[in-house]
Structure 1
Amino acid sequence: MQDEGGRSSVADGSQVDGGVDGDFMDDYDETTSVDDGTLPPERYLDRELSWLRFNQRVLELAEDPTTPLLERVNFLAIFATNLDEFFMVRVAGLKRRIVTGLAVPTNTGRAPADVLSDINALALELQHRHVRCFHELVKPALDEANIHVESWADLNDDDRTRVDEIFSTKIFPVLMPLAVDPAHPFPYISGLSLNLSVRVRNPKTERVEFARLKVPTVLPRFVQLPDDGSGRVRFLTLEDLISNHLDELFPGMEVLEHHEFRLTRNEDVEIEEDEAENLIQALERELLRRRFGPPIRLEITDDMDEVTLGLLVRELGITENEVYRLPAPLDLGGLFQIAKLDRPHLKYPKHVPVTALQLQPAEPNAKPDVFAAIGAGDILVHHPYESFATSVQAFLEQAAADPNVLAIKQTLYRTSGDSPIVEALIDAAEAGKAVLALVEIKARFDEQNNIEWARKLEKAGVHVVYGLVGLKTHCKLALVVRQEKGGELKYYSHVGTGNYNPKTSRLYEDLGLFTADDQVGKDLTRLFNELSGYAIEKKYKRMLVAPRYLRRGLLKLIDAETKNARAGLPAGIRIKVNSLVDEAIIDALYRASQAGVSVDIVVRGICALVPGQEGLSENIRVRSVLGRYLEHSRIFAFHHGGDPQIFIGSADMMHRNLDRRVEALIRLSDPAHLDQIDQLFDATMSDRTASWHLQPTGEWLRRATRDNGTALADLQNTMMGRIGGRRRPQTAR
């Protein structure tokens, strides 16, 4: 914030001076979000190309020699899997609009076909850069660290003898070559599978045949070679090993050509919820169809002959524009296997999360009481710097075990396979408590996992619901109703920015608020009733909830800053999100900038806003931070005339979040928490902190060193030190 001002807060959760309560929505003038013709028509960056620029930033971490070596390998794998999902969902969506004749323009107003052409060019450029990074930068560094990714040509006779044994005993029995001839139609090629195309000749008839061989996913992608006494760890790609044993798969035939290829299919899921009698059954049918989605990308090795390529293009029904020629090996997502090697000195130094001060027991060795801590005041936790296990997990486990707890209500969007969160809900239900779990079974690529958890919860007696028709429930909410001494009921609430997933909580940067505020408890009770039953509720006193009111609430807050700036009063906006695409929000930020409001934006991924453009956005700065942790928290902070309004929650500034999802933001009220958020923004936006700066051209400029070549501060290391160094105040004895 520009000016701390005279900060004030109201303990009961209401607001002062035009605050964000349920009533202020009713008189909100929505015309502030409509373009009045004063903004230039070409004022947005293309969202798809912006996403590719985000993945480019991931790649830059792999290219950076100061990044620990196995972390560079990990970023190479992340780049590859990110790009796969981008093609399966975003590119697939664009192609579907083109094929079906839906001439809906993209967010920049351009035709989908024109954007698709730019995507193909930039994606191909980045994939080649990705492969060069592996071959020219990372692989030589691995060699120096005695980790070798070998090729067949690197092996001596002793190595090949031992590899022959590995092939015959562990690989050959699993392989399934499929011939293509009049009796054997061209086989189905599953999405993201790695394959070998093989052309063989029958020496008796001189007839040339084609066969497809799928590289088994049940085997390690990188086969570890036997120890040769050198102390080196050596690997050979599975496809390289198989390629050099094709004569054993096609005995008596002459192998003419063999090449690698990989197909990406449209794997997005669409269901008509209004017409589905049973949502789970409808979704399960769609998951089966997902495997057979149309092809959208064909990756081939750059040595593939034209005859083989022509066959693949014809049989797969793909166009030349959808073919990506790349040096081997394809699918560098398999590098996750190498990144997991036990070499601590080649990874980020280990970081152990600390327990939030308020959740630490007052006496050493005493058992922590989460409810007592929350009852003493709001608690803001910052993961992964502060422990998920001793905060969120402990909160739900204590609720399950506490005989005074009567009910638990929770949303589940993504969780891990052996989740202690789910187990806590099951324990609570089996102990006789009323438990409601809202499981979002439409969470992309986690659908099957969530269906299985939903059924397990139902069997244990948990009331499982799936939210509202036509909306995904993306908010991160947990509510515990407890009977206190004297018989009164008390609410204990948690509202977070990240999923209830213990595994990702160690990798994702997120915030969560615990509160015993009675008003928040009532807000969550009403919201859960709306999600599980038939309720239409407007009165959220300390929260903004999508799809009805979140965009409108944020637009009102932005408009208030704009009016204050025009009146010569202090004004400021700070926003941290994963993606910023929504045109109404962007236009409001442009108007705020034109009025003189200082706007700081931190975006991890997509940003369609153009910063630093004279007359439009010269007061807007956009930064991006990537590192060992995935920046995931969403924060919205407004100066608000010296009475700061700061919200955290689950919503990104995208159409799907604001219009087609149930999202929730909660307002922070504790002055210490407001200071904490201010300090986080100060550190993030500081010129002394390493980050990427978005340019008016849409390019991202990395600032990692000072002019003298010394490294700028790493934000995540700064936060580790700052939070790890907190100490509980000493009380007088």
Structure 2
Amino acid sequence: MKPNEEAAAISRAELAAPGKELQAVRAERAKFFNRESSWLEFNRRVLHEALDPRTPLLERVGFLAIFTSNLDEYYQKRVGGLKRQIDLGVVSRTPDGMMPEDMLKLIREKVLPMLKQQADCYEKIIKPALAKNGIHMLNWNELTEHGKHLARDYFKKNLFPVLTPIAVDPGHPFPFISNLSTSLGVMLRNPNDPVRESTSEFSTDPEDMGMQFARVKVPAVLPGWIKLKNPNHMTSGQEDEFRFINLEDLITHNLDELFRGMEIVEVESFRITRNADVERDEEDAEDLLELISQELRDRRFARAVRLEVQHDPYKPIHRVLSHQLNLKQDDVYEMPSLLDYTDLWIINGLNVPELKYKPWTPMTPPRLADEDSDIFNIIRAGDVLVHHPYDSFGSSVERFIKAAAKDPKVVTIKLTLYRTDKDSPFLPELIKAAEMGKQVVVLVELKARFDEERNVQLARQLEQAGVHVVYGVVGLKTHTKTALVVRHEEDGMRCYAHIGTGNYNSKTAKLYTDLGIFTCDPRLTNDLIEVFHFITGRSIKTDFDHLLIAPINMRRRFMEMIDREIGYCEAWKSRGADPEDPNRPTIIAKMNSLEDKILINKLYDASQAGVRVKLIVRGFCSLRPGVKDLSENITVTSIIGRFLEHSRIYHFHNDGNHEYYIGSADWMYRNLNNRVECIAPIYDLTLQKKLQLILDVSLNDQRQAWDLQPDGTYIQRQPDPNDTTTGIGTQQLLMDHTRQESASVNL
């Protein structure tokens, strides 16, 4: 049963259930946090990094941008999906009992104070601090006359030819406004036309007021903050190195150049967000590539779900926009300061090292330190575990694929691509391999949200080069991060594999924490061969011996392992049930998000049996920890820092026979049921120790860690003021450990 179906069933049960049955339904709901609320709490923790004075100044600017970027995606996907449910008349409740309309109200109530907090952080803390460090974020009115002259000169040379003012009148319909674009709404009046009497004292209809609406799109090809050259005499204050003026402000104060002879009554900036939750029917699609291309076209013209405007908007402009975009008042957000904080990335990128994190250069893993050695020989000598961005992606994953492409003994390369960078180093290598006659098979996931267009282009590029391109299994997203290399050696064909938690993306590998294992262990590679057969050939294999594969055996195997820990609790209790017993049944799981109701209920069962459950969940978490007689043995920790925590690690005590797993799947319904995912066991004891180190450091963090409370709030841990070592967070500790490990090899 899918989540919406389950929620609808609960709704029907509530309507039909009197007395004790109704109480049971409500008690079941009380066991789960609302997903939307929990996600917003995650973004609040992101915003806190901008508020935290311990974060370097330019990194705080970056977190303001990340907060907005996260919220943009959230409104496109989640709010867009809720609005589509309402439009379709879907009557269903979330596991905690809320209807879509309730959810939209809750989201707005939570978001508005955060937007105010973001604006106060920028205006009252960040801007003054930047100015003290010689980085001035200027408004037009803060420029001297000479500065305004230079800014107007920039406008005439760089903006005037690009801008396209579009007036709205009977001959010019309201223009299409693209998703997440910033525009200026302009109210114009022809000074030669007689002023018409308003039909009502309170009318805000432009035509009643003798005015005309026009729209000017702020060009996305230019940065949102323009660096002013020749700083001399730009302001009346001290002259410093960096001075920027907001692009919208620059355009606003030069609109007379666009509307010559017209009276500009009012100007308002605005920004819209469109729904990205577009429905598709893969079952009836003859060509998935064309279906995704059509979806991209549909998404471009999808309904607007949010309108962001300046604080205290001008009513006639507000009325035009709301009417034309078919938005209600609750869809409109008055922004207390900037409209789009993602424009601040240009400020974050300034070369001022003392205002940023200390630079980190990923290290070559010790096992791969000899660049001239054959990587296949290294893997044959034992599995290799890499942890990005502490370990270099280039000297590990990229090296593996490049070696496979060039090695004359390699006959086949198979790879899954979910998200990759625009200038991926993999593509030319895979194309060269195909041109050399190797069999190259690439699974390109066309349905990777917001990367569909890039992946469509990637698929066509690979196909034109002779690479075998497949698009996965109908009805499932292929989210697994796996590569398989088949090599012809003296004793026959040998398979080498990389199984990871993150995408084959060299850029995000420097920003996300992810794990990967290189192996030629037949226990894993034989299963992985079958996984690719399932993806490319529609194999109906129903189980795997070692790998956990969704949607085939992953859920069942995880449930069995949790039940096994529950079973061991009887022996533990017979020993006295000492909470600190090192042999106490224990589950430690690190993931991005936790939402699957069945697994959560199983974790509740484990807690009630006495199993110690330690969860490290970066994002949203629907499990309610620390509730007496339900989850008092469960803790939930979230790590937020300079790198995005993306790795998944699962550890089961197994009566002292410790088991460790890494892979691509979170404990979410979609990962376990609607995606092709791969979780791999880590057998090597040395590699297990490395995974345990990551878990221990994360669980003991007193700098970057937040603890989820039974009421759904998070409390950030605070370092011991008498112990300076507790102020070092997880990510810095792991950087230090990696550096020390690398130095010991080079001695």
TM-score scaled by length of structure 2: 0.90
Alignment correspondent of 1:14: none
Letter in 1 for 2:288: L
- Residue 450 of structure 1 deviates from its aligned partner by 0.7
Q: 1:409 aligns with which of 414, 419, 427?
A: 414
Q: Deviations over 1:674-721 (max 9, x none)?
A: 111222111111164531111111111111432569662210010011
Alignment correspondent of 1:436: 441
2:674 equivalent to 1:660 = yes
Q: What does residue range 110-259 of structure 1 map to in structure 2 within 5 Å?
A: 110-205=98-193, 206=195, 207-229=210-232, 230-259=239-268
- Residue 231 of structure 1 deviates from its aligned partner by 2.8
Alignment correspondent of 2:624: 610
Q: Which has the higher contact order (CA 8 A, sep 6+)?
A: 1
Q: 1:97 aligns with which of 78, 81, 85?
A: 85
Q: CA RMSD in A?
A: 1.8
Alignment correspondent of 1:358: 367
Q: Deviations over 1:543-564 (max 9, x none)?
A: 1000121111111111111121
State the distance in 2 between where 1:694 and 1:709 align: 24
State the distance in 2 between where 1:723 and 1:38 align: 49
State the distance in 1 between where 2:75 and 2:722 align: 41
Q: 1:540 aligns with which of 538, 544, 551?
A: 544
Say if 1:523 and 1:539, in contact at 8 Å, map to a contact too.
Answer: no
2:478 equivalent to 1:464 = no
State the distance in 1 between where 2:359 and 2:746 align: 32
Alignment correspondent of 1:712: 727
- Residue 483 of structure 1 deviates from its aligned partner by 1.2
Q: What does residue range 565-580 of structure 1 map to in structure 2 within 5 Å?
A: 565-568=569-572, 570-580=584-594
Letter in 1 for 2:135: I
Letter in 2 for 1:219: L
Q: 1:524 aligns with which of 528, 531, 535?
A: 528
Alignment correspondent of 2:693: 679
Q: 1:81 aligns with which of 69, 89, 100?
A: 69
2:491 equivalent to 1:477 = no
Alignment correspondent of 1:7: none
- Residue 203 of structure 1 deviates from its aligned partner by 1.2
State the distance in 2 between where 1:316 and 1:191 align: 12
Structure 1 residues not aligned, in runs of 5+: 1-35
State the distance in 1 between where 2:427 and 2:745 align: 37
Task: Report the identity percentage.
Answer: 45
State the distance in 1 between where 2:409 and 2:113 align: 60
TM-score scaled by length of structure 1: 0.92
Say if 2:701 and 2:730, in contact at 8 Å, map to a contact too.
Answer: no
Q: Deviations over 1:292-335 (max 9, x none)?
A: 11111111101312222122111111000111111232111111
State the distance in 2 between where 1:190 and 1:728 align: 51
Say if 2:544 and 2:553, in contact at 8 Å, map to a contact too.
Answer: no
Alignment correspondent of 1:586: 600
Q: 1:308 aligns with which of 305, 317, 324?
A: 317
**Structure 2 counterpart SS, 1:725:** helix
Letter in 1 for 2:709: Q
State the distance in 2 between where 1:410 and 1:51 align: 32
Q: State which drifts further: 266-275 or 723-732.
A: 723-732
Alignment correspondent of 1:375: 380
Alignment correspondent of 1:9: none
**Structure 1 counterpart SS, 2:53:** coil
- Residue 538 of structure 1 deviates from its aligned partner by 3.0
Alignment correspondent of 2:350: 341
State the distance in 2 between where 1:678 and 1:291 align: 45
State the distance in 1 between where 2:253 and 2:656 align: 71
State the distance in 1 between where 2:744 and 2:437 align: 40
State the distance in 2 between where 1:712 and 1:652 align: 29
Q: 1:696 aligns with which of 710, 719, 744?
A: 710
Letter in 2 for 1:217: A
Letter in 2 for 1:208: M
Alignment correspondent of 1:20: none
State the distance in 1 between where 2:430 and 2:536 align: 17
Alignment correspondent of 2:640: 626
Q: 1:454 aligns with which of 456, 459, 468?
A: 459
Alignment correspondent of 1:510: 514
- Residue 214 of structure 1 deviates from its aligned partner by 1.0
Q: Deviations over 1:476-498 (max 9, x none)?
A: 11011111124x11111110000
Letter in 2 for 1:410: L
- Residue 727 of structure 1 deviates from its aligned partner by 5.3
- Residue 129 of structure 1 deviates from its aligned partner by 1.2
State the distance in 2 between where 1:460 and 1:413 align: 20
State the distance in 2 between where 1:567 and 1:728 align: 45
Say if 2:502 and 2:515, in contact at 8 Å, map to a contact too.
Answer: yes
Q: Report the CA distance shift for 1:571/1:59 in structure 2 as closer, same or farther (over 3 A).
A: same
State the distance in 1 between where 2:435 and 2:77 align: 40
Q: How many pairs were matched up?
A: 692
Alignment correspondent of 2:201: none
Q: Deviations over 1:247-267 (max 9, x none)?
A: 121111111111111111102
Say if 2:417 and 2:442, in contact at 8 Å, map to a contact too.
Answer: yes
Say if 1:690 and 1:714, in contact at 8 Å, map to a contact too.
Answer: yes
Q: Report the CA distance shift for 1:278/1:730 in structure 2 as closer, same or farther (over 3 A).
A: closer
Alignment correspondent of 1:286: 295
- Residue 453 of structure 1 deviates from its aligned partner by 1.1
Letter in 2 for 1:212: R
Q: Deviations over 1:244-289 (max 9, x none)?
A: 0111211111111111111111023432110111000111011011
Letter in 1 for 2:446: I
Alignment correspondent of 1:559: 563
Q: Report the CA distance shift for 1:175/1:731 in structure 2 as closer, same or farther (over 3 A).
A: closer
State the distance in 2 between where 1:224 and 1:352 align: 29
Q: Report the CA distance shift for 1:146/1:729 in structure 2 as closer, same or farther (over 3 A).
A: closer
Alignment correspondent of 2:335: 326
State the distance in 2 between where 1:541 and 1:421 align: 30
**Structure 1 counterpart SS, 2:509:** helix
Letter in 1 for 2:217: K
Structure 2 residues not aligned, in runs of 5+: 1-23, 196-209, 233-238, 574-583
Letter in 2 for 1:282: L
Q: 1:723 aligns with which of 738, 742, 747?
A: 738
State the distance in 1 between where 2:678 and 2:453 align: 25
- Residue 37 of structure 1 deviates from its aligned partner by 9.0
Letter in 2 for 1:715: T
State the distance in 2 between where 1:109 and 1:566 align: 35
Q: State which drifts further: 96-105 or 75-84.
A: 96-105
State the distance in 1 between where 2:184 and 2:483 align: 49
